[in-house]
Amino acid sequence: MTALHTPSDVERGRIAYRRRRAVRSVLLAAASTAVLGTLLVVAVTGSPGWDRVRTSFFNAEIAKESFPAVLEGLWLNIRMLVVCAVLALALGLFIAVLRTLRGPVFFPVRAMATLYTYAFRGIPLIIVIYLFAFGIPGLRLQGTPGVLVLGGAALVVTYGAYLAEVFRAGIESVHPSQLAAARSLGLTYRQTMRHVVLPQAVRRVAPPLLNDTVALQKDVGLVSLAGPIDAVRAAQIATAENFNYTPYLVAAVLFVLLALPLIAVTDWVTLRAARRQNAGT
Amino acid sequence: MLLSVDRVRKVFGPAVVLDDLSLAVDEHQVVALIGASGSGKSTLLRCVNLLERVDDGTITLDGEDITDPRVDPDVVRRRIGMVFQSYNLFPHMTVLGNITLAPTRVHKRAAAEAREKAMEWLTRVGLADKADSYPDRLSGGQQQRVAIVRALVNNPRLMLLDEVTSALDPELVGEVLTMIRDLKSEGMTMVLATHEMGFARQVADRVVFLDGGRVLEAGPPAQVLGDPVEPRTRQFLSRIIEAGRL
């Protein structure tokens, strides 16, 4: 049916007009980008200190030299990111569910979960890393894991607190009528959570969860404070060797490249969620 | 002629929702669109308000081709009031806030003047005591009356009403219909999509039966609803009678 329809002259005119507008928009966008880009380049390269900055931050030779070490460090970041993200998400979900438990018996559990989210959202991550990586070994307990594991634990505990609040917001955003419907079918509280509330909640907060994962991605670099040689630490070593900041820039570029796929996934999930929400209208 | 829809076509993917549909509405005329779900009533109203872009044909309001892409849709919409099936009041604003939003922000009226006009209307429809309430404290019928007032305070040339009673309890339908009847007596031009055949018969000057995105039958209510020519119209009406809505 659609194929048979030939547009009238009016519609053809409108299509042509819209096409002209689209072409004009693209040209305008290109022109304004070119102007702004040129201005930026002129402003930076024309600055009095540009020559010095260029040699100490944009040295191609040093970049090439430090690249393998920084890349090797990045591999540690990637492994830590995967492990920490999974553990932090699990911890966050667990804490969030604890905070929704009703009944007087669960008061201490609720209180502790609440206290945890308050405390670890407040303490700066750097301090948590110091406490874990230097404080815990100081206890001289048998079987204390290495600084890498302790630094990772600091990340998990801190991000778990943030993610718990995101999950909780999602759980609370599920309308009470859903709970009523599930309970009316005879589902227990636990079954209601598992099959009705959490699936809706997690779907709804997927974009902010992924956003926090992107943030975790770069905070993983902070474990270098405790000693392990990750990309940031590798860049720091290379910087000290050459008295040149280019390795940091190399690390920054690699971090951005690492974040790109995650950011792309976040955007895609957000878009899909928005589409699904608007599907009914 | 106030509104003229000329050979309008609208497709959603493979589905042809409006198929060379033409319709003319004179000033002070009330036109009721009837037809099954999916016959194109809502889409037609949304096209007139430029919420949907037509895929062919033209729509003319006051002699101006509003489907011309050079036309600013915001300016066109200032002349058209629209009321939705599920009210669509803004839940974070009071009744008064909902009503004065467009007068102050779009039409740049002074806040005091807009408030005064809003209160005048609310008093008329018996909701003055609800001015500072939030929409969720109101019944469906009250919410819908507020939504109608929200559209009316902008002095539209044309009102589009999209199944405005479909989400209401039967006992609340009356208060909304009374309000629409009052509007008609004041000469407001209206196009309304409705399932209330009895009401369409009372208030409409012309009833238009849509089927598959086309006007299958149109004429005075007594003829279309009482003595339809098309077999498809008869079938539709007999089903409605079975459902007890006529």
Instruction: Give the DSSP H or E segment for B97.
Output: helix B95-105
Q: For B64-106, what is each residue's pLDDT tens digit?
A: 999 999 999 999 999 999 999 999 999 999 999 999 999 999 9
Q: CA B72, CA B15: separation in Å to the nearest integer?
A: 28
Q: Is the pLDDT of residue B244 over 70?
A: no
Confidence (pLDDT) at B63: 93
Q: Which residues contact B82 (CB under 8 A, 6 or more apart)?
A: B45, B49, B151, B159, B160, B161, B162
Please state which CATH number belongs to domain A66-278: 1.10.3720.10
Distance of CA A160 to the CA centre of its chain: 13
Task: Please state the domain extents for chain B.
Answer: 1-79+159-246, 90-156
For chain A, the domains span 1-55, 66-278
The CA radius of gyration of chain B, in Å to the nearest whole number, is: 18
- Comparing B243 with B125, the larger pLDDT belongs to B125
Total number of residues shown for chain A: 281
Considering only residues B41 and B246, tell me which one the structure prediction assigns the higher pLDDT.
B41
Residues belonging to chain B = 246
Q: For residues A31 and A36, what is the distance between their CA atoms, to the nearest angstrom?
A: 9
Give the confidence band of A280 by pLDDT, cuts at 50, 70, 90.
very low
Q: Which residues pair with B81 in a beta bridge?
A: B159
Interface pTM (ipTM) of the complex?
A: 0.78
* Residue A265, pLDDT above cutoff 90: no
Mean pLDDT along residues B170-186: 91
- A2:B7 CB<8 A: no
With a cut of 90, say whether residue B8 has pLDDT above it.
Answer: yes
- Residue B240 pLDDT: 84
* pLDDT at B133 (0 to 100): 96
Q: Which residues of B touch A21 (CB under 8 A)?
A: 69
Q: Is B207 in a helix, a strand, or coil?
A: strand
Q: Which of the listed CATH numbers 3.30.110.30, 3.40.50.300, 3.90.1150.10, 3.40.1350.10 matches domain B1-79+159-246?
A: 3.40.50.300
Which of the four pLDDT bands, split at 50, 70 and 90, describes residue A281? very low
Q: B9 by DSSP, 3-state: which?
A: strand
Closest by Cβ to B56, choosing from A1, A11, A17: A11
pLDDT category, A278, cuts 50, 70, 90? Answer: low
pLDDT digits (tens, 9 = 90+) for B195-215: 889 889 989 999 999 999 999
Q: DSSP assignment of B107-143, as one string? A: S---HHHHHHHHHHHHHHTT-GGGTTS-GGGS-HHHH
The whole-number average pLDDT for the span B148-177 is: 92
Q: In A46-106, where does DSSP find H-type helix? A: 50-57, 60-100
A chain contacts of residue B9, beta-carbon cutoff 8 Å: 5
CB contact under 8 A, B68 and A14: yes
- Find, in chain A, the residue whose alpha carbon is nearest to that of B65: A10
- Residue pair B83/B161 in contact by the 8 Å Cβ criterion: yes
Q: A1: which chain B residues are within 8 Å (Cβ-Cβ)?
A: 14, 16
Rg (CA), chain A: 26
CA distance A19 to chain B (A): 11
Which residues on B lie below 8 Å from A7 (Cβ)? 56
CA torsion, ordered A77, A83, A84, A90, to nearest 10 deg: 160
* Confidence check: pLDDT of A148 > 90: no
pLDDT by residue (tens digit) across A26-65?
999 999 999 999 999 999 998 888 888 888 888 888 888 8
Q: Which residues on chain A are in Cβ contact (under 8 Å) with B58?
A: 10
At A270 the pLDDT is 79
Residue A276 buriedness (CB in 10 A; 0-12 / 13-18 / 19+): exposed
Q: Which two structure tokens, joined as six digits, stand for A172?
A: 């609370």
The three-class DSSP label of residue B25 is strand
pLDDT-based confidence at residue A10 (cuts at 50, 70, 90): very high
| Contacts of residue B167, Cβ cutoff 8 Å, sequence gap at least 6 | B85, B86, B87, B140, B144
Stretch among A12-21, A103-112, A253-262, B44-53 having the lowest mean pLDDT: A253-262
Mean pLDDT for all residues in chain A: 89
pLDDT over threshold 80, residue A1: no
Q: Look at residues A161, A159, A168, A167 and name the one whose alpha carbon lies nearest to residue A119.
A: A161
Residues of A numbered 6-45 whose beta carbons fall under 8 angstroms of chain B's beta carbons: which are they?
Answer: 7-8, 10-11, 14, 17-18, 21
Query: Residue A251 carries which side chain, given as an amino acid letter?
Result: A
Residue B65, H or E segment: strand B64-65
What integer pLDDT is reported at residue A277 of this predicted model? 65
pLDDT of residue A3: 57
pTM of the complete model: 0.78
Instruction: For an interface test with B, give the residue of A11, A12, A19 to mutate (most B CBs within 10 A).
Output: A11
Q: Which of B55, B60, B88 to mutate to test the interface with A (most CBs of A within 10 A)?
A: B55
Helix/strand/coil percent split, chain B, to 5? 40, 25, 35
State the distance between the two ends of chain A, measured CA to CA, in whole angstroms. 25
Q: How far apart are CA A67 and CA B233, in angstroms?
A: 77
Residue A55 and residue B108: Cα distance in Å, rounded? 57
Average pLDDT, chain B: 93
